[in-house]
Structure 1
Amino acid sequence: MKAPKIDDYLALFRLYEGALKEPVEPRGERFELLFDQVIRLLHSPSPLNNEIPFPFRDVARRFSDNDAATVEHFRYDENRQFFLSDLYDFLHLLAAKKSRFPRGS
Structure 2
Amino acid sequence: MRYSEKIISFIEEHYHEDVNLDQLAEEIHLSISYISRIFHQETGGRLVDYLTARRIKQACRLLGTTDLPVEQIGIIVGFPNASYFNHLFKKVLGTTPLKYRKNN
- Fold in common (TM above 0.5): no
Structure with greater contact order relative to length (CA < 8 Å, sep ≥ 6): 1
Larger Rg belongs to: 2
TM-score between both structures, scaled by the size of structure 1: 0.31
